[in-house]
């Protein structure tokens, strides 16, 4: 048996079933104005009143597509300002070219910064790197890692055959995994109070002589024995200090 309830807002009457009223505690939604109201307390009797204009069940208003307003203009074209503008082929090519140039610039900067290490690890690339350096005035040196170039041992003795002449013996070792530049040595003679009385810098050409090429450097893991003579007749030295460094 159907009942009639009236919306308290728009006064529209609806025919409802008992099962509909009991589904949600009597709460129904008006299919005309959308108001939620108590359908039980708003029940009306059909007898003795003027004929009512009966609307469909308020429950149907929730599912009737004709009563709902579409939120998307599916058939209407989008306004011009909302339309997606497809990038032109020329713009895409330009962006691609700029990306390639950016990557090339980063690669060139890295090659410039680490040119010596690259040449040490890839000897075949040394000439190419040297040629690229000439226009900008840079040079491709061998690595200069003083922490991996050690003085393994050294001693300073008087030359028994020549008065006033001292002899320096030293052993250098390259502990780096790549060839390195030969270092510069600093020899300092000291007196009894360990004050310097004579200092001399020894470049690679001074202790290697003219017969050994410098551009190849000291090979990885290699050792080099030095024996150098100095005239110390004008210095009263009793001790010495020996350091290596890269200028």
pLDDT of the residue at 113? 66
Exposed (0-12), middle (13-18) or buried (19+): which is 201, by Cβ within 10 Å?
Answer: exposed
Q: Six-digit token pair at 86?
A: 């497809």
Q: Six-digit token pair at 189?
A: 């003679």
Statement: 146-245 belongs to CATH 2.60.40: yes
pLDDT of the residue at 128? 75
The Cα-based distances of 133 to 101, 103, 218 in angstroms read: 20, 19, 23
Query: Which of 44, 40, 59, 47 is closest to 13 using CA atoms?
Result: 44
Q: Rounded to an integer, what distance in angstroms lies between the CA atom of residue 105 and that of residue 111?
A: 10
pLDDT digits (tens, 9 = 90+) for 89-121: 888 888 888 888 888 888 777 766 666 666 766
**Residues 158 and 222: beta-carbon distance below 8 Å:** no
CA 5 to chain centre: 70
pLDDT of the residue at 203? 94
pTM of the model: 0.49
Rounded mean pLDDT, 222-235: 89
Question: Where are the domain boundaries for CATH 2.60.40 in the chain?
Answer: 146-245
pLDDT digits (tens, 9 = 90+) for 53-81: 445 555 444 434 444 444 447 445 544 44
Long-range CB contacts (within 8 A, 24+) of 137-142: 138/112, 140/115, 140/116, 141/116, 141/181, 142/116, 142/178, 142/179, 142/180, 142/181, 142/217
């Amino acid at each position: 048996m159907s009942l009639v309830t009236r919306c308290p807002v728009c006064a529209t009457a609806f025919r409802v079933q008992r099962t509909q009223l009991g589904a949600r505690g009597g709460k129904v939604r008006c299919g005309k104005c959308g108001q939620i109201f108590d359908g039980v307390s708003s029940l009306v009797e059909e007898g003795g009143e003027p004929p009512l204009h009966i609307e469909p069940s308020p429950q149907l208003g929730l599912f009737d597509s004709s009563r709902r307003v579409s939120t998307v203009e599916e058939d209407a074209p989008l306004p011009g300002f909302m339309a997606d503008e497809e990038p032109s082929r020329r713009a895409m090519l330009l962006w691609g070219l700029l990306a390639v140039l950016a990557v090339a610039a980063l690669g060139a900067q890295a090659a410039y910064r680490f040119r010596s290490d690259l040449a040490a690890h890839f000897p075949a690339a040394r000439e190419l790197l040297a040629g690229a350096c000439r226009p900008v005035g840079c040079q491709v040196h061998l690595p200069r890692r003083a922490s991996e170039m050690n003085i393994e041992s050294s001693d300073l003795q008087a030359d028994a055959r020549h008065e006033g002449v001292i002899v320096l013996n030293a052993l250098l070792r390259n502990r780096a995994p790549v060839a390195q530049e030969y270092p510069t040595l600093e020899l300092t003679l000291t007196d009894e109070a360990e004050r310097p009385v004579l200092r001399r810098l020894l470049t690679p050409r001074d202790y290697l002589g003219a017969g050994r090429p410098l551009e190849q450097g000291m090979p990885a893991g290699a050792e080099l024995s030095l024996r150098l003579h100095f005239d110390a007749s004008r210095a009263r030295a009793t001790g010495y200090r020996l350091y290596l460094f890269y200028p």
